[in-house]
Copies of this chain bind each other. A is one copy, B any other.
Amino acid sequence: MNIYDVSKKAGVSIATVSRVLNGNANVSEKTRERVLSAIKELDYTPNVFARGLGLNTMKAVGIMCTDSSDIYLANAIYYLERELRRFNYNAILCCTGNDAGARKSCMQLLLDKRVDGIILAGSQFICRDAGVDGYDYIIEAARELPIVLVNGRLDGNRDGCRLYSVLCADREAVCSAASQLIEAGRRNIVYLYSGTSYSSLNKLDGFTDAMNQAGLPVRPEYLRQCTRDIAGARGSLEALYSSRMPFDAVIASDDMLAVGAVKFAFAHGIRVPDDLEIIGYNNSVLANCTEPELTSIDNRVELVSTRAVRLLIQVLGGGSAPPLDIVAAELIKRNTTKF
């Protein structure tokens, strides 16, 4: 079942069939209809490989992420795929984990597959310990096809590179949230985080911004890094607590960690939000699970993901796009804060 069968059935040449298939105007209405009905009758669909061979495109983009089961990334992937398919692109998913080598080979795999573009979902691709040439594989790839970072940032102003970043204004969001806690009278605020990704460090900066603006000291004991799970967050606060360092608020870089904070408070009979205010990040489903429910910073996954795809589509269509697109976050107030 190929284009020849259709051309035979319709009594035209394969060129005409191809023209109909690709919406070429140079076809009379009569023949177009004849061809279309032949296509329908034979239930013909063009062979992607042959088409790809000629056009060098498969109408697919690669989505790379560290872990698609992470709640934030799972949402990002959902929105990315939905938007991509809206533009008739398929999504090829690649979970790389945190190993640098795996990332490179994943990227290479996608390049070899001749995808039309690549989306790097999640801030984990840009992190402190990447090293000087840690992003070379991205830069190089961006010379071959457009690459969009979702919630990560890498400068795309190098010549010959098509590298774009779409992200949320994390720093400003945390700064604003921290400022509100300070205004509400909190003085001993803990900042709880896990990774050293671009986004994570950015949030941390936002926290210190707020402290500086308020003229409050940023004490290193209150910047607490822990493993990325409930127990890690809780444990970190336990340690601080037993060392008798007072704290009256917690800002977490992820709802998961904020859940740990709620559990810590519960275990010690500390009242939330009266004695301890807690703010999470991502505004994920986890924020609705605790008691009281978490106030959380919404970093707009859907919006960011959608814009990332739109941007990519535009570039794939030969258009241009700004290398940086920043979306504002939104504080969703629930019951772990008083303001």
Contact = CB atoms under 8 A, between A and B. Distances in A.
Contact of A289 (B68, B70, B82, B230): B230
Given A49-B114, A289-B286, A93 B71 contact: no
A285 B288 contact: no
B291 A266 contact: yes
Contacts of A263: 291
A114 B58 CA distance: 11
A90 interface: yes
Nearest to A266: B291
Interface in A79-128: 81-82, 85, 90-95, 109, 111-114
A67 interface: yes
B60 A69 contact: no
B109 A95 contact: no
Interface string A23-63: 00000000000000000000001111110110010101001
Contacts of A60: 92, 113
Q: Which of A47, A75, A78, A82 has the most B CB atoms < 10 Å from its CB?
A: A78
A127 B268 CA distance: 46
A77 interface: yes
State the copy count for this chain.
2
A226 interface: no
Given A52-B49, A68-B68, A90 B81 contact: no
A335 to B, nearest CB: 12
A259 interface: yes
Contact of A85 (B75, B90, B94): B94
Nearest to A54: B49
B56 A49 contact: yes
A290 interface: yes
Nearest to A90: B92
A329 interface: no
Interface string A268-296: 00000000000000000110111100000
A47 B289 contact: no
A210 interface: no
Nearest to A88: B109
A67 B58 contact: no
A256 interface: yes
Report the 9 A-B pairs with minimum CB-CB distance, sorted nearest first.
Answer: A49-B52, A74-B74, A289-B289, A69-B78, A49-B53, A69-B75, A68-B78, A45-B112, A93-B93
19 contacts: A45-B111, A46-B112, A48-B113, A48-B114, A49-B53, A58-B113, A68-B74, A68-B77, A69-B71, A70-B74, A82-B95, A90-B92, A91-B93, A92-B93, A93-B93, A259-B288, A266-B291, A286-B286, A290-B290
Interface of A: 45-50, 52-53, 56, 58, 60, 63, 67-71, 74-75, 77-78, 81-82, 85, 90-95, 109, 111-114, 230, 256, 259, 262-263, 266, 285-286, 288-291
